[in-house]
Amino acid sequence: MEKTWRWFGKKDNIKLNMLRQIGVQGIVSALHDIPNGEIWPLEAINEYKEYIESFGLRWSVVESLAVSESIKYGGEDRDHLIANYIISLGNLGKAGVKTVCYNFMPVLDWARTDLYHKWEDGSSSLYFDKAKFAYFEIHILEREGAEKEYSSEILDKVRELKNTLTDKDNNDLIDSVIVKTQGFVNGNIKEDDQNPVAIFKKLLLLYDGIGKDQLRENMKYFLEKIMPVCEEYNIQMCVHPDDPPFSLLGLPRIITCEEDIDWFLNAVDNPHNGLTFCTGSLSAGLQNDVPKLAQKYASRTKFVHLRSTNVFPNGDFIEANHLEGRGKIVEIVRIFEKENPDLPMRIDHGKLLTDDIDKGYNPGYSFLGRMLALGQIEGVMASVQMELEKK
C-alpha cells in the first residue's frame, strides 16, 4: 500500500520535509481554509498540489471534501450545495487528485470525551467514556429524553459525575466533544466560537424528525447526483465509517456495520462509490468483525485508515496500540496487500509520546506516536509482501 500521512496544511506544526524523512510517499489533505459548501477553485487546488510536490511528495487523497449539513438533512439549499460540490470534484479531477474521502455523519464528525487519557507509562491516547458522554448529553446539552437511552448503571455514574465535576471539568468536556475534535476537520464548530453549546443545540434541531431511512435517502440522492462527474474524471469517492459506529445524541448514523455498508454500496452500485476502510472506527463497534469486513469489501475499498481500539464491558473504548486490540491490523494489511496493493493507506491517530507533548498537534495527530505506528506497519507490510511472494 502507498504510505500516506494526514497533513493539515502550512499551519500544521508537522512540516512536509519531516514527512519525507520518515518514508511518507503521499499526502492526505484538504483546502482547510475554504468554508464548507464553497467551491474549491482549480487554481487553489493546483497551487496546493504543486506545493506538496515541491517536497517530492504527491497529494494522494482529499480528506475531506466535507458534505454540508443541509445536504445531509435535506435542506432547501441542498441542490445548490451539491452543484458546488460537483464543481469542486470536477476541479479536483482536472488537477488529477482523484481519491476523495468524506463522511455522512450528522452534526458530530467524530466523538471522544478525553483527548489525553493517560497510560501507565505517561503516554496518552484518545478515549470515549460512555458515562461522561451521557453526562454531557443530559446535563450540559440538556437534550430532552436523553436519560431514556441509558442503562441504570450509566445513570448512576452520571449522578456521581454531577456531584464531582467542576466548572472547569465541564468546560474541558465541552472542549473535547464539540470544539477540539470538530474544529480542525472542517467541522461545524470553530475554535474561536463564543458559545459552542448554543451553536451545537441549533445544529441538532436541524435533524428534528430525520431518522435513519431519511438520512439514507439523502445520501443516495447526493451520491446519484455526483456519480456522473466522478465517472467523467475517474474520481473514487470513499465514505468514512461513522466514528464511533453507533448512534449518539439521538441522531441517526448510517455507516456503522455490514448491513449499512451493503446498503450504500447497493443503493448506488457504481465502482466510483466506495469505502474508506477505517479499522479504528469499525473496531469500536462490537458488531463488527474487522477482517471479515475487509475481505468482503476489499474491491470497493479506495482508501485505508489504520488504527485500533479496545472496547470495555461498560461501553467505553480506548485507542489502542496499532498492533493490538480489535482492529486486527496485521490481518488487515495481509488482506489489502493481497487484494489491492496500490491502495493509499494512512496511519490514523497515534498516541502522544515523549516529545509530542505540548506541541499543539490536533487531537490524535501526533508526530512521534504516528511515526512509531508507521514504522510498525512498514515492518508488517514488508513481511506480508515476502509471505505473498513465496506463495
Alpha-carbon distance 173 to 332, whole Å? Answer: 34
Contact string 11-50 vs ligand DNO (x = CB under 6 A) = ----------------------------------------
Among 12, 69, 109, 319, binds ligand DNO (CB under 6 A): 109
Alpha-carbon distance 280 to 299, whole Å? Answer: 20
Taking Cα atoms as reference points, which of 154, 156, 93, 62 lies closest to residue 346? 62
**C-beta of 2 vs 149, nearer to ligand DNO:** 2
Choose one: 97-105, 166-174, 290-298, 351-359; the region binding ligand DNO (CB under 6 A): 97-105
Alpha-carbon distance 38 to 316, whole Å? Answer: 37
Alpha-carbon distance 134 to 115, whole Å? Answer: 17
Alpha-carbon distance 62 to 229, whole Å? Answer: 16
**C-beta of 66 vs 197, nearer to ligand DNO:** 66
User: CB of residue 332 vs ligand DNO: minimum separation in angstroms?
Assistant: 16
Among 40, 110, 127, 233, binds ligand DNO (CB under 6 A): 110
Known catalytic residues? 240, 278, 305, 348-349, 365
User: What is the footprint of ligand DNO within residues 147-176 (CB under 6 A)?
Assistant: none
Burial of 344 (0-12, 13-18, 19+ CB in 10 A): buried
Alpha-carbon distance 98 to 198, whole Å? Answer: 37
Applying CB under 6 A, does 102 fall inside the site for ligand DNO?
yes
**C-beta of 29 vs 64, nearer to ligand DNO:** 64
**C-beta of 103 vs 123, nearer to ligand DNO:** 103
Size of the site for ligand DNO (CB under 6 A): 11
Enumerate long-range contacts of 145-149, CB under 8 Å, 24 or more apart. 145/250, 146/249, 146/250, 149/250
Q: Are the CB atoms for 316 and 310 separated by under 8 Å?
A: no
**C-beta of 183 vs 315, nearer to ligand DNO:** 183
Choose one: 96-104, 116-124, 148-156, 337-345; the region binding ligand DNO (CB under 6 A): 96-104
Q: How far is CA 79 from the centre of its chain?
A: 25
Choose one: 99-107, 160-168, 213-221, 225-233; the region binding ligand DNO (CB under 6 A): 99-107
Residue ranges that bind ligand DNO, judged by CB under 6 A: 63-64, 101-103, 109-110, 185, 240, 243, 364
